[in-house]
Structure 1
Amino acid sequence: MRWLLLAAFPFLATGCTAVHDPFLETGAIRPDAPPISTEVSPEFAAAYLPSISGRIESVRQTVRGEFFEQAIVYSNATASAGENVLTVRIGTPSEGVTFLRAPTRRAILAEMRQALPGVAMTIDAAPGQNMHGIYGYATGPLGKSGSCLYAWQFAKRVSPVRETAMGRIGAGNYSAQVRLRFCHPTMPQERIASLMAGMRLKPVTRDTFDMLSYAGGSGYGRSQPVLTRAEPVAIVEDDVEVRRPKRRVVEEKRAEEPAIIRNAVRVPLPGEATQEKVKVAVVEKPVEEATVTARAKSALVPLPGE
C-alpha cells in the first residue's frame, strides 16, 4: 500500500499544478481587451458612394481577427441631427448569422427609427439593384425640397474570385452587411435612391485585414488654419475700459521712394559768406530787425579761409 501511494504521488502533483489560475496567464495568451476604434485616411475606406454625395469626411474603423467595421462619414448639409454615414461590416460566416442572411424587416425598422427620428420614412416595395446584388431602401421628405434615404444590403461574397483552388483558399470567403443613412436639403426622393445604386465595395482578402490593422494608428488629420497672436487694445466705452484684440494688418511693401529732407541747416560754400554780408549791409532795416538778422546769420559755419 505504501509503494502504491508513492507511485501515485507524481500524478497527484501534476493534477494539482494543472488547475486553471488566471493570475498566472498573460495578456498574450488570453486577450480580453475590446478592440479600439480608430480613424484612418479616406483612402482606406472599404466602400464609397457616387460623386454627387460629396467627399468623404472621415473613416472610423474597428478591426479584430477576421472581422472589421467601418463608418464612412460624408458631409451633412442639412439642419437635422445625425451623420450621413455609410456603415460596412465585413466578416466570415463563422462570426454569426449576421453574415449568413439579409436582415429582417423588424430589425430594419428598429435601425431606421434610431437613425432618422422624426422623419416619415416609407419602404419601397420594389428593391433596387447594384453591382453587388439587390438592396432595400426607404425614403422620406425633409423640409420643403429635401429628402432622406435609409438603405440596407447583404453582399454574400466580397472576396475576389480566383482561378485556382489555392487562390480561392487565400482569398477567403467574406460577406458584407451595408447600411446607408443619408439626408440632403435639395435632392428629391426619386433621385436620392440612386446613391445606393452607385455604391461600390472594394474586394476584401486576408491581406486587407493586415493592411487595415497597420493603418489603424495612422489617423487622418486635416489642415488647420494658422493662427496669429493678436495684441489686446484698451478701448474706453461708457467710462469702462474694454480690452479688445488688435487686428493685425499686413501692409504691402511699397516701392522705395527718395527721402525728402526738410529744415536742414545750409552750409555755405566758399565765396558765399561775403555776398550774404553785403546783402545784409545794403538793406535798410531798423536796429532791432538788423540784430535779429545778425543772430540768424550767426548759425552759418565758416569754412577754412573765410
Structure 2
Amino acid sequence: MRWLLVATIPLLVAGCTAVPDPFLETGAIRPDAPPLSTEVSPEFAAGYLPSIAGRVESVRQTSRADFFEQKIVYTNTTASAGENLLTVRVGTPSEGMVFLRAPTRNAILAEMRQALPGVAMAINTAPGQNPYGVYGYATGPLGKAGSCVYAWQFVKRVSPLRGTAIGRLGAGNYSAQVRLRFCHPTMPQERLAVLMDGMRLKPVTRETFDMLSYAGGSGSLRNQPVLAHAEPVVIADDSVEAEPRRTPKRRVVEEKRREEPVAIRNAVRVPLPGEAVEEKQKVAVTEKAAEKPEEKAKARATSALVPTPETASLTEAD
C-alpha cells in the first residue's frame, strides 16, 4: 500500500497541472485595442491627385497585417468645415465584403451626409472612368462660385501583375476602396469631377506593408519648427535715446601707430667720415665768435698799425 500511494501522488499532481488556464497564459489573451494612427511623410502616400488639387498637407496612416488605410490631406481653401481628403483603404478579401465589391447606394449617401453636411449633393448617373476602372461621383454647389465633389471607386486589384504563378503569389491579391472629398471656392462642378480621372495609385505588394510599418512617424517632424540658435531680439524704444556703440580704443591706437612713423627722441647722432671736417670748422667759428669784446678791440687796434723798424724795436723792448 505504501508503494502504491507513492506511485499515485505524481499522477495526481500531473493531472492537476495539465488543465490549461487562459488567465495564466499570456498568449491566450488577445488585445482588442484598435491600431494607432500615425503621420507619415507624403512620399509614402498610396495615391495622389493631379496638380490642380494643390499640395499634400499630411498623410495619416493606420496599418496592420494585410491592411492599411491612408487619409491623404490636401489644402482646403474654402470657409467650410472639413478637410479635402483622398482616402485609400487596401486589404485582402479575407478582411471582409468591403474588399470584394463596390459600395451600395445607401452606404454612399450615409458617407456623403457625414463628409459634406449642409451641401446639396446630386449623384451623377453617368459614371466616370480612369485607368483602374469606373468610378461614381456626386457634385454640389458651394457658396456663389464654389463647388464640392464626392467620389468613390472599388479597385479589384492594386497588386502588380507578375508573369509566373510564384510571382503572383508573392505579390499578393490586394484590393482597394477609394473615397474623395474635395471642395474649392471658385472651381466649377464639372472641373472638380475630373479629379478622379487623374488619380493614381501606387502598386501594393507584401513588401509595401513592411515599408509602411517602419514609416510610421517618419513625417512627425515635418510640420515642427526647426530649432536654431539665434541672437536675442532687442526691441528699441523711440522715447529713449540709444547710446552710440563704443569701439575698443586699444585697437584704434594700435592701428594709428602702424600707420604713423615713430619719432625717436634724444638719440645720439653718429657723424659720417665726410662730416668730421665740417664739424671742426663749425666749432672753430663758434669759439671765435664767443671771444671777449676787449680782445676783439685790441686785435682791431693792433691790426690797424703798420709795423716800422721803430715800432718793432719798441715792441720787443716791452
Fold in common (TM above 0.5): yes
Matched letter for residue 187 of structure 1: M
1:21 is aligned to 22
1:123 is aligned to 123
1:250 is aligned to none
Give the superposed CA RMSD: 2.8
Distance 1:4 1:202, change over 3 A: farther
Could you tell me the TM-score, scaled by structure 1's length?
A: 0.70
For residues 219-238 of structure 1, the aligned pairs below 5 Å read 219-220=219-220, 221-222=222-223, 224=225, 230-231=233-234
Write the distance in 1 (CA, Å) between the matches of 2:174 and 2:6: 57
Distance 1:229 1:179, change over 3 A: farther
Aligned residue pairs: how many?
235
1:206 is aligned to 206
Please state how far the C-alpha of 1:195 moved relative to its aligned partner: 0.3
2:52 is aligned to 52
Q: Which runs of 5+ in 2 are unaligned?
A: 240-318
Please state how far the C-alpha of 1:36 moved relative to its aligned partner: 1.3
State the identity %. Answer: 69
Write the distance in 2 (CA, Å) between the matches of 1:23 and 1:105: 48
Q: Identify, as 1 or 2, the structure richer in strand.
A: 1
2:194 is aligned to 194
Write the distance in 2 (CA, Å) between the matches of 1:22 and 1:234: 72
Matched letter for residue 17 of structure 1: A
Write the distance in 1 (CA, Å) between the matches of 2:207 and 2:60: 19
Distance 1:13 1:121, change over 3 A: same
Matched letter for residue 24 of structure 1: E
Please state how far the C-alpha of 1:13 moved relative to its aligned partner: 2.9
Find the residue that maps to 2:196 and give its secondary structure: helix
Write the distance in 1 (CA, Å) between the matches of 2:78 and 2:96: 36
Please state how far the C-alpha of 1:3 moved relative to its aligned partner: 6.7
Q: Identify, as 1 or 2, the structure richer in helix.
A: 2
Distance 1:192 1:228, change over 3 A: farther
Write the distance in 2 (CA, Å) between the matches of 1:34 and 1:167: 32
Distance 1:125 1:16, change over 3 A: same
Find the residue that maps to 1:22 and give its secondary structure: coil
Please give the per-residue CA displacement for 1:223-279, whole angstroms capped at 9, x wherever unaligned: 64778755577899xxxxxxxxxxxxxxxxxxxxxxxxxxxxxxxxxxxxxxxxxxx
Q: Which runs of 5+ in 1 are unaligned?
A: 237-306
Report whether the alignment pairs 1:103 with 2:87. no
Matched letter for residue 163 of structure 1: G
Matched letter for residue 60 of structure 1: R
For residues 141-156 of structure 1, the aligned pairs below 5 Å read 141-156=141-156
Distance 1:97 1:3, change over 3 A: farther
Find the residue that maps to 1:208 and give its secondary structure: helix
1:172 is aligned to 172
Write the distance in 2 (CA, Å) between the matches of 1:98 and 1:73: 23
Please give the per-residue CA displacement for 1:143-186, whole angstroms capped at 9, x wherever unaligned: 11110000000001000000011100000000000000000001
Please state how far the C-alpha of 1:33 moved relative to its aligned partner: 3.9
Please give the per-residue CA displacement for 1:111-136, whole angstroms capped at 9, x wherever unaligned: 00000000000000011110011000
2:114 is aligned to 114
Distance 1:106 1:8, change over 3 A: farther
Find the residue that maps to 1:78 and give its secondary structure: coil
Find the residue that maps to 2:191 and give its secondary structure: helix
Write the distance in 2 (CA, Å) between the matches of 1:211 and 1:157: 19
2:284 is aligned to none
| Deviates further, 6-15 or 184-193 | 6-15
Please state how far the C-alpha of 1:218 moved relative to its aligned partner: 1.5
Distance 1:82 1:21, change over 3 A: same
Matched letter for residue 139 of structure 1: T
Which structure would you say has the larger Rg?
Answer: 2
Distance 1:137 1:11, change over 3 A: farther
For residues 1-306 of structure 1, the aligned pairs below 5 Å read 10=11, 13-14=14-15, 16-25=17-26, 30-220=30-220, 221-222=222-223, 224=225, 230-231=233-234
Please state how far the C-alpha of 1:187 moved relative to its aligned partner: 0.5
1:255 is aligned to none
Matched letter for residue 18 of structure 1: V
